[in-house]
Chains A and B, each alone.
Chain A
Amino acid sequence: MSDIPTDLKYASSHEWVRVEGDTAVIGISDHAQQELTDLAFIELPEVGLDLTAGDSCGVIESVKTASEIYAPISGEVIEINDALQTEPGLANEDPYGEGWFYKIRFNIPGEIEDLLSPEDYTEQVNI
Chain B
Amino acid sequence: MRTILTAMEQSALKKTPLYDTHLALGGRMVEFGGWDMPVLYNSIVKEHQSVRNTAGLFDISHMGEFLFEGPNAKKFLNLILTNDLSRLEPGQGQYTLLCQDNGGVIDDLYAYRLGEDRYLLIVNASRIEVDWMWIRSQRNSNYKSLQLEMNDISTNYAAMALQGPSSAKILSKLFPQAATLQKNNISEIKFKDESIWVSRTGYTGEDGFELITPNIQAVELWGEIFEAGKSLGLAPAGLGARDTLRTEAGFSLYGHELNSETTPIEAGLGWAVADYKINFIGKDTCITQKQDGTSRKCIGFKMIGKSAPPRENYSIFESCEDMREIGQVTSGTQSPSLGYGIGLGYIESPYAKPGTSIEIEIRNNRFPAEVVKRPIFRKPD
Interface residues of A (CB under 8 A from B): 13-15, 28, 32, 35-38, 40-41, 43, 59-70, 85
Contact = CB atoms under 8 A, between A and B. Distances in A.
24 contacts: A14-B1, A14-B2, A32-B3, A36-B3, A37-B44, A37-B45, A38-B43, A38-B44, A38-B336, A40-B308, A41-B307, A41-B308, A41-B334, A43-B308, A59-B363, A63-B240, A63-B334, A64-B39, A65-B5, A66-B4, A67-B4, A68-B1, A68-B2, A70-B1
Nearest to A38: B45
B306 A85 contact: yes
B37 to A, nearest CB: 13
Contacts of A28: 1
A15 B1 CA distance: 6
A69 B4 CA distance: 12
A64 B1 contact: no
Contact of A61 (B240, B243, B309): B309
A59 B309 CA distance: 11
Contacts of B3: 32, 35-36, 65, 67
Given A32-B3, A41-B308, 13 more contacts: A13-B2, A35-B3, A36-B1, A37-B44, A38-B336, A40-B309, A40-B334, A41-B309, A60-B1, A63-B336, A66-B4, A69-B1, A85-B306
Contacts of A66: 4, 308, 311
A67 B308 CA distance: 12
Contacts, number: 66
Interface of B: 1-5, 39-40, 43-45, 240, 243-244, 306-309, 311, 333-334, 336, 363
A43 B1 CA distance: 12
Contacts of B45: 37-38, 63
Contacts of B1: 13-15, 28, 32, 36, 60, 67-70
A38 B243 CA distance: 14
B365 to A, nearest CB: 10
A61 B1 CA distance: 11
Contacts of A63: 44-45, 240, 244, 309, 333-334, 336
A66 B362 CA distance: 11
Contacts of A70: 1-2
Contacts of A61: 308-309, 334
Contacts of B333: 63-64
